[in-house]
Structure 1
């Protein structure tokens, strides 16, 4: 289900150490963006990146090819 409001999620790999980000992937299909925010400041600003850029970033992390 896609809504106009971000549905923030944090990685299941997050260890709760306070250095995490949250993403709202529910907006990718309808808006073409993925908002990202600091998990410690839930009412703070967010950065929206294109869905394509976010997908490339996730692929690079999984393939260990960032910065190559």
Structure 2
């Protein structure tokens, strides 16, 4: 899996989960030129993390499988 920290793309096209509770403690995602960019909603002008398709799909499958659940 390849990830890199990059400057944020333009401010349009970002979205966050419909499960977001509106407190600002969320991440936003934007897809552009074969990459999935992820940024913190509290620091929209800060850096984002970019995943290629394989990395993004591996993350989604792991999340769906519960591999990233917070410890109790």
| TM-score of the pair, normalised by structure 2 | 0.66
Instruction: Give unmatched runs, 5+ long, in structure 1.
Output: none
Which residue of 48, 57, 60 corresponds with 1:58? 60
Residue in 1 that maps onto 2:19: 13
| TM-score of the pair, normalised by structure 1 | 0.69
Higher helix content, 1 or 2: 1
Shift of 1:32: 2.1
Instruction: Give unmatched runs, 5+ long, in structure 2.
Output: 1-8
Whole-angstrom distance in 2 between the partners of 1:64 and 1:41: 27
Show structure 1 runs of 4+ deviating over 6 A: none
RMSD between aligned alpha carbons? 2.3
Give the total of aligned pairs.
60
Higher strand content, 1 or 2: 2
